[in-house]
């Protein structure tokens, strides 16, 4: 009898809940289920949606202040483990405070196209173990708690493009993708990526970087994508960009003022792409560019004031290499490389 009572109670409870469940199916068939989400009224103007696998996404794009967001997260949350937090096109939230997100944890944090100026150190404390993507692109961020980056043990992608950030100290064992395009980065040190061993994609386009020290983008076993377009580079030293030869890489350097490049400045791009279009190159040195083309990487060199003297003979004489050069490559006077007569270089005594 002693054992029977709890079982009987359990049966009663199951019957009761089942009845309620069927009942709710009948009366609320057109409404979405509440649980696992909080009460919709409690979290207005945020909305919570859960999919069939009970993954909850929270959208707080309509919050009008820091206080309102904190109030939302002080509501009763039956479950605090969310998939995405989203806040887009918001004109009010300037600071993500330590209290903003309460005890909730997220896999993806997307605060985009808004007016966010700062993120407090512990604002994402509860997502240290869960966050895989942090995307705060196109805000007004002049600071970010980079000192906590190493605590985000699952973080794969950090997109802080289109903000007002300088280059930070970076440390992450998990980070694969970093986007700091269109910020206020004016320099990167040779050790900038020393503490991001898994980094595979680096986007730094649209900054004011004028110099890449030897070794900056080298020695990372996953690195296959480096974008430095629209910076202020004038020269590439030896060993500046060394990708991993295991996958076809991409090196984008278009729209800088690169006038000279050192031997072995870009290596291991086999089968990939190198874009140095719209720069200030007058010569195409064989010892720099032949190794790249020999690895069957496509080379875009259009919009450079190429002199097209003997320095380019090696390329014009080898049609298999010339095929790898993107259409539109021309000399300073507009003549297409593809139209140049290899015989001319022989007639004029080029070695």
Q: How many residues make up the chain in this entry?
A: 351
The H or E element spanning position 159 is: strand 157-159
- Give the residue with the Cβ less far from ligand NAG, 137 or 267: 137
Contact 62, 69 (CB under 8 A): no
- Give the residue with the Cβ less far from ligand NAG, 63 or 321: 63
Nearest approach in angstroms of CB 208 to ligand NAG is 12
User: How many CA within 13 A on the CB side of residue 273?
Assistant: 11
- Give the residue with the Cβ less far from ligand NAG, 137 or 250: 137
- Give the residue with the Cβ less far from ligand NAG, 99 or 257: 257
Nearest approach in angstroms of CB 78 to ligand NAG is 21
In angstroms, the CA 284 to CA 302 distance is: 12
- Give the residue with the Cβ less far from ligand NAG, 15 or 208: 208
Nearest approach in angstroms of CB 107 to ligand NAG is 7
- Strands 56-59, 95-96: parallel, antiparallel or unpaired by DSSP? unpaired
In angstroms, the CA 160 to CA 138 distance is: 7
Nearest approach in angstroms of CB 254 to ligand NAG is 7
* Among candidate residues 195, 189, 145, the one with its CA nearest the CA of residue 170: 195
- Give the residue with the Cβ less far from ligand NAG, 206 or 215: 206
Nearest approach in angstroms of CB 4 to ligand NAG is 46
Nearest approach in angstroms of CB 260 to ligand NAG is 16
DSSP 235: E
Question: What 3 state SS string does 83-131 have?
Answer: CEEEEECCCCCCEECCCCCCCCECCEEEEECCCCCEECCCCCHHHCCCC
Cα 133–Cα 172–Cα 243 angle in degrees, nearest 5: 90
Contact 108, 133 (CB under 8 A): yes
Q: Who's near 22: CB < 8 A, 6+ residues apart? A: none
Nearest approach in angstroms of CB 230 to ligand NAG is 7
Nearest approach in angstroms of CB 242 to ligand NAG is 25
Task: Give, in order, the Cα–Cα distances in Å from 317 to each of 50, 109, 276, 344, 351.
Answer: 63, 53, 21, 10, 11
Task: Give, in order, the Cα–Cα distances in Å from 289 to each of 105, 163, 238, 267.
Answer: 49, 35, 13, 10
- Give the residue with the Cβ less far from ligand NAG, 86 or 250: 86
In angstroms, the CA 144 to CA 178 distance is: 14
- Give the residue with the Cβ less far from ligand NAG, 109 or 192: 109
- Give the residue with the Cβ less far from ligand NAG, 136 or 199: 136
The residue ranges that bind ligand NAG (CB under 6 A) are 83-84, 86, 108, 110, 255, 257, 278
Q: Which residues pair with 57 in a beta bridge?
A: 49
Nearest approach in angstroms of CB 189 to ligand NAG is 24
The H or E element spanning position 275 is: strand 273-275
Nearest approach in angstroms of CB 122 to ligand NAG is 23
- Give the residue with the Cβ less far from ligand NAG, 108 or 215: 108
């Amino acid at each position: 009898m002693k054992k029977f009572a709890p079982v009987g109670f359990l049966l009663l409870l199951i019957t009761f809940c089942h009845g309620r469940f069927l009942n709710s199916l009948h009366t609320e068939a057109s409404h979405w289920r509440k649980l696992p989400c909080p009460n919709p009224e409690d979290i207005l103007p945020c909305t919570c949606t859960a999919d069939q696998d009970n993954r909850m996404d929270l959208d707080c794009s309509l919050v009008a202040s820091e206080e309102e967001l904190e109030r939302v997260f002080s509501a009763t949350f039956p479950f605090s483990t969310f998939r995405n937090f989203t806040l887009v096109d918001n004109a009010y939230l300037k600071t993500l405070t330590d209290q903003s997100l309460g005890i909730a944890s997220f896999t993806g944090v997307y605060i985009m196209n808004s007016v966010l100026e700062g993120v407090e150190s512990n604002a994402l404390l509860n997502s240290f173990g869960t966050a895989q993507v942090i995307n705060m692109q196109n805000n007004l961020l002049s600071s970010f708690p980079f000192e906590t980056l190493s605590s985000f043990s699952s973080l794969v992608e950090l997109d802080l493009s289109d903000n007002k950030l300088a280059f930070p100290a970076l440390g992450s064992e998990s980070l694969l993708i970093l986007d700091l395009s269109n910020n206020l980065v004016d320099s990167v040190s040779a050790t900038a990526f020393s503490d991001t061993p898994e980094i595979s994609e680096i986007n730094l386009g649209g900054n004011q970087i004028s110099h890449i020290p030897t070794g900056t983008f080298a020695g990372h076993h996953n690195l296959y994508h480096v974008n430095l377009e629209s910076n202020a580079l004038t020269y590439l030293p030896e060993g500046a960009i060394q990708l991993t030869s295991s996958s076809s890489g991409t090196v984008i350097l278009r729209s800088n003022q690169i006038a000279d490049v050192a031997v072995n400045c870009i290596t291991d791009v086999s089968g990939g792409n190198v874009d140095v279009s719209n720069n200030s190159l007058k010569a195409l040195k064989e010892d720099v560019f032949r190794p790249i083309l020999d690895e069957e990487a496509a080379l875009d060199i259009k919009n450079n004031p190429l002199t097209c003297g003997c320095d380019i003979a090696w390329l014009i004489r080898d049609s298999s290499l010339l095929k790898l050069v993107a259409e539109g490559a021309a000399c300073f006077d507009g003549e297409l490389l593809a139209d140049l007569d290899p015989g001319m270089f022989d007639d004029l005594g080029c070695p």
